[in-house]
Amino acid sequence: MPYRKVEEYNIQITDDVRERYKNIIKDLGEDTERDGLLKTPERAAKAMQFLTQGYHQDPIKVLKSAMFKESYNEMVIVKDIELYSLCEHHLLPFFGKAHIAYIPNGHIVGLSKLPRIVDIFSRRLQVQERLTEQILDCINDTLKPQGVAVVIEASHMCMMMRGVQKQNSITTTSGFRGQFEKIETRNEFLKLIGK
């Protein structure tokens, strides 16, 4: 039996976005009937649905699904979480790594849920500054820890492929709540993630 990948997409949205992509490709001067482009509008429509699936996911539910009572009250860090998002200004990708820490306050969360939160907020049209704050606030408001820290380092294709065309620039954003607003705790976190 041949390999078959199964993906589910909203048919109405796929059809609508496919037609829009077909018209955009035509307006740019390409032949949408040429062999290599015949299925491109549909593939692009499905790709955009995949890349923006975070709008249909609830990050609070994800965190609450794996919260456990625990007396541990030292720093928990998950670092080097890959992230891929779309810049809302040009619809071009930005990608990099997120580093998250929290200090529990009676509850811990399943470690895989922190990368899931990054994915949910990344899979929306974004700016890196808002993405950092959304991850930070979601963890802080849901888990209610003693403190939360988030650092994101990313490369933006809108700066690399167009505009200033700077290939090696990295944008770093950070946010701190609670105990991480204290310089000693913040410095410990930054040292542990190697920054």
Residues with catalytic function: 87-90, 128, 156, 158
- Which residue, among 52, 47, 128, 116, has the nearest Cα to 82 in the 3D structure? 116
- Contact yes or no for 140/178 (Cβ under 8 A): yes
Structure tokens at 18: 């496919």
Strands 147-156 and 171-178: antiparallel
- Contact yes or no for 137/160 (Cβ under 8 A): no
Strands 125-126 and 76-87: parallel
CA distance linking residue 192 with residue 195, whole number of Å: 8
**What residues pair up with 175 in beta bridges, in sequence order?**
150
